[in-house]
Amino acid sequence: MADNTVHLSLEGTDESIELPVYSGTVGPRVIDVRALSKVGYFTYDPGFVSTAACNSAITYIDGAKGMLLHRGYPIDELAKHSNYLELGYLLFYGELPTKEQYEQFANIIRYHTLVHEQVHNFFKGFRRDAHPMAIMCGTVGALAGFYHDSLEASSEHDRKVAAHRLVAKMPTLAAMTYKYSIGQPFSYPRNDLDYAANFLHMMFSTPCEEYKVNPVLARAMDRIFMLHADHEQNASTSTVRLVGSTGANPFACISAGIAALWGPAHGGANEAVLAMLDEIGDDSEENIQRFVDRAKDKEDPFRLMGFGHRVYRNFDPRAKVMKETCDEVLSELGVADDPKLKIAKRLEQIALEDDYFVERKLYPNVDFYSGIILRAIGIPSNMFTVIFAMARTIGWISHWNEMVSPGSVKIGRPRQLYVGSDFRHYPADK
């Protein structure tokens, strides 16, 4: 129901239109512009800077306050008291689980971790040096060819089974991309381990010796998953929704989300942060300042990776938790004086005091510290975005489920401001 209206009138004409205004629970109000197309106008908003494309009850971000809420709960409280699977249940089902619901959910995930044995053959078709995100796009989309009983978007049963399968199988596929790249045999999942510990086991165990999961690293991994689980209508989630609006199956939708996440302006930034720290190399004051100056120079394409965010104009609340986790992991591993961390901390300090960054409200985002943690755990940088994709899968599938559950979905179809040639005939003399 509209709680207000705006009137648009075109100067010099008697054209005018009344548009309803809606309020959400919190956050900016929205003007419902749907009636505009009936009178021959479209709105123009490249990059969706001012456009809400849907209703959602999953995640709320207040970028000015640096606040991130999942189903109303702040991310820092969740990171402290909860774990990835509980958060996943909350995102998908809408409420925190009871103890029994949690046990049941964790069990379902545990017993869906194996991938069909023929999926292994897919890997052999890739070059060993293929980017793991390329393998993820291919293999996750291919799951639709294996799990025919969970493809129907209109069926609540299929949607739940697809969500469970995706959350359960993503770590298995992710670890397989790594094992394939280094020429080691795949490690099968272990049902006695929890979600994050099982992922570390599949990444680092070999048939030759026992692998003991370090609980501090497993907890850090779980936190990384939590901090990446959902972030409302970002580029990859919007991609999943757009693809889902066509009625495409959930595996195809998530594969499209993975492709969108791959870009360096989105999920690829964590890999780009490490590449940037490597490029900076030397931790001298003059050298770090040189890179800060390059980031400010409009003629230079160099940007400080891990800084800035479309929505946050304050500290990314996830970056704060990530920084704490980073300190915990480095001290557990006895590498607290990691030179990359030293450069990162100095870079952060300079940028937070520099007018260019202060005026533009460019703060470190979630990716600034996650790469340092992952590298310390022994995960190569080309796997960072894969880990982001694993973690974000629950967010993507929750948004897809929210969109398709009411039964009728309007296909996503943006309009354009056409600036090409007007109608013209093919030249007769050509």
Confirm if 199 and 391 have CB atoms less than 8 A apart. Answer: no
Q: Does 310 bind ligand ACO (CB under 6 A)?
A: yes
Could you identify the residue written with the tokens 């294996």?
146
Both tokens of 119, joined, read: 């999926």
309 is catalytic: yes
Stretch near ligand ACO under the rule CB under 6 A, chosen from 57-65, 168-176, 260-268, 281-289: 260-268
State which of residues 308, 317, 371, 395 lies at the interface with ligand ACO (CB under 6 A): 308
Q: How far is the CB of 84 from ligand ACO (least distance, A)?
A: 17
Closest residue to ligand ACO using C-beta atoms = 308
Q: Does 320 bind ligand ACO (CB under 6 A)?
A: no
Q: Does 232 bind ligand ACO (CB under 6 A)?
A: no
192 is catalytic: no
367 is catalytic: yes
Could you identify the residue written with the tokens 């494309």?
53
SS (H, E, C) 122-146: HHHCCCCCCCHHHHHHHHHHHHHHC
Nearest to 102, CA basis, from 25, 195, 171: 195
Q: Does 227 bind ligand ACO (CB under 6 A)?
A: no
Q: How far is the CB of 232 from ligand ACO (least distance, A)?
A: 12
Q: Does 265 bind ligand ACO (CB under 6 A)?
A: yes
268 Cβ contact list (under 8 Å, min separation 6): 261, 262, 385
Confirm if 85 and 110 have CB atoms less than 8 A apart. Answer: no
Strand partners, 21: 4, 31
- Provide the residue type at 298 as one letter: K
Q: Does 306 bind ligand ACO (CB under 6 A)?
A: yes
Catalytic residue of the set 70, 201, 231, 309: 309
- Provide the residue type at 318 as one letter: R
Q: How far is the CB of 68 from ligand ACO (least distance, A)?
A: 12
Q: Scan residues 349-388 and list those touching ligand ACO (CB under 6 A).
A: 360, 362, 365-367
Catalytic residue of the set 266, 283, 338, 354: 266
Q: How far is the CB of 125 from ligand ACO (least distance, A)?
A: 30
Stretch near ligand ACO under the rule CB under 6 A, chosen from 66-74, 161-169, 266-274, 321-329: 266-274
Listing DSSP states for 6-27 in one string gives: EEEE-TTSS-EEEEEEE--SSS
Q: Does 200 bind ligand ACO (CB under 6 A)?
A: no
Q: Does 305 bind ligand ACO (CB under 6 A)?
A: yes
Confirm if 368 and 340 have CB atoms less than 8 A apart. Answer: no
Both tokens of 103, joined, read: 């046990």
Confirm if 274 and 340 have CB atoms less than 8 A apart. Answer: yes
Based on CB atoms, which residue is closest to ligand ACO, 49 or 411? 49
- Residues in the site for ligand ACO, rule: CB under 6 A? 265-267, 269, 295, 303-310, 360, 362, 365-367
